[in-house]
Chains A and B, each alone.
Chain A
Amino acid sequence: MSGPDRIPPGAVPALELRGLGKRFHLRSGGILRRRVTELRAVADVDLVLPRGGILGLVGESGSGKSTTGLMALRLLEPSEGQILIEGTDVTALGHAALKPWRRRVQVVFQDSYSALDPMFTLAQVVAEPLRIHGIGDGASRHRAALDWLERVGLHRSYGSRYAHELSGGQRQRVAIARALILEPAVLIADEPTSALDVSVKAQIINLLQDLQAEMDLSILFISHDLSVVRSLCDRVAVMFSGRIVEEAPTEAIFTSARHPYTRALLDAIPVLDPRQRRRRTFRDRAEIARDVPVLRRGEVTGPVPEGAGPRLMPIGPDHRVAAVLEGEAA
């Protein structure tokens, strides 16, 4: 068995998802005429999060981005595909074998209120990861927790307070401290700023940036807020109806998006200056789903993946888009 500590840093991606998918079975009807409908919440997700990288995963609510995050955390069993943490396939590991790998991938959720146990003091909240992993004794855990509270910008005296006494931004800081106290390689941040006020949002983004730089952390940043993603992430993957439809370095997404859904998302960003305001096109999902980009052979910069229908094709440096080739039926 190879423990998480033996992997040389840098060489392998911190987190890799290969062909990840999730199907839900919806039951309807009575005992006698039971129908089972299959819902593909997520399909064919390939993502690579390099060490120290910040990858944005964007899409509207229901696009499957949070489901992908939960699967990457092994909180939700994937129906297909693999999850690799620092090069090791952890998809099939059982509870005990998975536990050391759990330390490497941690999470911050959107709803900071329900993310903290109301019966715990904040020191207990932050120390909990150490407790679950049996690191140190009560006193040393408490000290470490207070250190981390300070590190995320809260006074040490907050250690004896409860979650309900804090503001949303302060609670999110506590959640970040809890996620990082085990010094994980990967932080999955599931809409950590969506419930916050604009000014507080900026503080939390700053905090994440600082900590990321200090700890050489890799972040999978799940969000629907493209402006936040632009200021934080170095790569962006766009999800639509459970699939990745475009993936590129952040600037390429903002300057040369190819997929109609990516463009629709970009159009939805509010622009303050009326002279710069673009003409917006509001289209419904079905319309976007039908509008598959068609590529000429010359536009594809790498090997064309096999298969039929829309599939991710390379169209530039590190830029992939779900499309069909000219002449193929969409």
Chain B
Amino acid sequence: MTGYILRRLLSVMVTFFVVSVIIFLMMHSIPGGPFDGGDMPVPEAVRQKLNAQYGLDQPLYVQYGRYMWGVLQFDFGVPFQSPGETVLELLGRAWVPSLVLGGLGVLIGVPLGILLGMAAALKRNSWIDYLASTVATLGLTIPVFVTSMLLILVFSVWLGWLPSSGWGEPERWILPIAAYATIPMATYARYMRSAMLDTLNKPFVTVLRAKGLSERQIVFQHVMRNSSIPLVTVFLPMFIGTATGSIFVEAMFRVPGLGSYFVSSIRTRDYPLEMALMLMLTVMFCLAYLISDILYAWLNPRIRHGGKQE
């Protein structure tokens, strides 16, 4: 097990290195820098001075090396768009809304999705089954900014119940949280439904029925436990979907979170901020992969003993 974790850790580090180099190169290989100016040409001398100040005149590998060395000390530089603070300070500020809204969205969406999926599996072909399938399909296929737009159109524009943007009073949180929650809810509704149906069709459940156990006992003591393993493994795609979705949710609801800064950094070619955000996301996703791999390896013997073959 230790060897497995070490091997995965190594491969994650290699992946991280490759991705960071690719991102770094991509951002620097495209013609045009932040001081090239489009509408307001910057004088040549000023431009060179600025480039030198930010180290943009050095060879690429030097820039990369210096950058990564700084990163190891949590020095991501200064964002071009708000030079009064460091990237780290800006990120520290931007974390809060993203974490609160995204976290609440996941906390609400996951249990709702699980309940919906369970109800759908237990009452096949009933209205709740159709509801679950519809929610799952809509949530997984329609881009989250479209969901957000629909929520705003219905609850803000048409009904006028809730504000559509901003950050602050809790009633402003409701719609973005609802938009966030669609992703985990859809993911879990779909997987819980199919995992439960799979388990309910296993021979051991038939045996339990033949032994005269009540349907309630079968579901809560046996089926639930056996259906829960796939739920651990879908957490990863759900997490990535939610994290990516945050960009659109925050842009839609004008929440000053990481997603908003991601968009603005891309639009303004804000290298330090963009790099920091991309690296942070890569680390996050790599860690998520690592955790899910380890969890899966750890669960595997149990899966085997549970009679499930992969």
A and B touch in the complex (CB under 8 A): yes
The A-contacting residues of B in range 2-23, CB under 8 angstroms, are 3, 7
The answer to the question of A11 belonging to the interface, with a C-beta cut-off of 8 Å to chain B, is no
The answer to the question of A31 belonging to the interface, with a C-beta cut-off of 8 Å to chain B, is yes
The answer to the question of A30 belonging to the interface, with a C-beta cut-off of 8 Å to chain B, is yes
Assembled-state Cα–Cα distance A160/B3 (Å): 56
Residues of A within 8 A of B3 (CB): 30
Residues of B within 8 A of A31 (CB): 7
Assembled-state Cα–Cα distance A31/B3 (Å): 10
Assembled-state Cα–Cα distance A255/B3 (Å): 58
Assembled-state Cα–Cα distance A31/B10 (Å): 12
Assembled-state Cα–Cα distance A30/B3 (Å): 8
Assembled-state Cα–Cα distance A291/B7 (Å): 47
Chain B: interface residue total (CB-CB under 8 A): 2
Specify the main secondary structure of chain A where it touches its partner. Answer: loop
Assembled-state Cα–Cα distance A30/B8 (Å): 12
Report the minimal beta-carbon distance from B231 to chain A, rounded to whole angstroms: 30
The B-contacting residues of A in range 26-55, CB under 8 angstroms, are 30-31
Interface Cβ pair total, 8 Å cutoff: 3
- Which residue of the partner chain B has the closest CB to A32? B3
Chain A: interface residue total (CB-CB under 8 A): 2
Report the minimal beta-carbon distance from B267 to chain A, rounded to whole angstroms: 45
- Which residue of the partner chain B has the closest CB to A33? B3
- Which residue of the partner chain A has the closest CB to B6? A30
Residues of A within 8 A of B7 (CB): 30-31
Assembled-state Cα–Cα distance A194/B73 (Å): 69
Assembled-state Cα–Cα distance A30/B10 (Å): 13
The B-contacting residues of A in range 83-99, CB under 8 angstroms, are none
- Which residue of the partner chain B has the closest CB to A30? B3
Assembled-state Cα–Cα distance A31/B7 (Å): 9
Assembled-state Cα–Cα distance A297/B3 (Å): 58
- Which residue of the partner chain B has the closest CB to A29? B3
- Which residue of the partner chain A has the closest CB to B4? A30
The B-contacting residues of A in range 223-257, CB under 8 angstroms, are none
Residues of B within 8 A of A30 (CB): 3, 7
- Which residue of the partner chain A has the closest CB to B10? A31
Assembled-state Cα–Cα distance A30/B7 (Å): 9
Report the minimal beta-carbon distance from B121 to chain A, rounded to whole angstroms: 32
Mask, B18-59, CB within 8 Å of A = 1, is: 000000000000000000000000000000000000000000
The B-contacting residues of A in range 280-308, CB under 8 angstroms, are none
Report the minimal beta-carbon distance from B157 to chain A, rounded to whole angstroms: 54
Assembled-state Cα–Cα distance A33/B7 (Å): 13
Report the minimal beta-carbon distance from A132 to chain B, rounded to whole angstroms: 37
The A-contacting residues of B in range 237-280, CB under 8 angstroms, are none
Assembled-state Cα–Cα distance A30/B4 (Å): 9
Assembled-state Cα–Cα distance A30/B1 (Å): 11
Report the minimal beta-carbon distance from A27 to chain B, rounded to whole angstroms: 15
- Which residue of the partner chain A has the closest CB to B3? A30
Report the minimal beta-carbon distance from A87 to chain B, rounded to whole angstroms: 49
Assembled-state Cα–Cα distance A218/B210 (Å): 56
Assembled-state Cα–Cα distance A30/B2 (Å): 12
Assembled-state Cα–Cα distance A30/B6 (Å): 11
Report the minimal beta-carbon distance from A22 to chain B, rounded to whole angstroms: 29
Assembled-state Cα–Cα distance A126/B7 (Å): 50
The A-contacting residues of B in range 137-167, CB under 8 angstroms, are none
Report the minimal beta-carbon distance from B12 to chain A, rounded to whole angstroms: 16
Assembled-state Cα–Cα distance A177/B197 (Å): 45
Assembled-state Cα–Cα distance A281/B3 (Å): 47
Report the minimal beta-carbon distance from A33 to chain B, rounded to whole angstroms: 9
Assembled-state Cα–Cα distance A231/B7 (Å): 57
Report the minimal beta-carbon distance from B8 to chain A, rounded to whole angstroms: 12
Assembled-state Cα–Cα distance A214/B7 (Å): 62
Assembled-state Cα–Cα distance A268/B3 (Å): 47
Report the minimal beta-carbon distance from B10 to chain A, rounded to whole angstroms: 9
Report the minimal beta-carbon distance from A34 to chain B, rounded to whole angstroms: 12
Assembled-state Cα–Cα distance A295/B131 (Å): 80
Report the minimal beta-carbon distance from B295 to chain A, rounded to whole angstroms: 21
The A-contacting residues of B in range 205-226, CB under 8 angstroms, are none
Report the minimal beta-carbon distance from B14 to chain A, rounded to whole angstroms: 13
Assembled-state Cα–Cα distance A168/B267 (Å): 65
Could you list some 3 contacts between A and B, CB below 8 A?
A30-B3, A30-B7, A31-B7
Q: Which A residues are within 8 Å of any B CB, using their own CB?
A: 30-31
The 3 nearest A-B residue pairs measured at CB: A30-B3, A30-B7, A31-B7
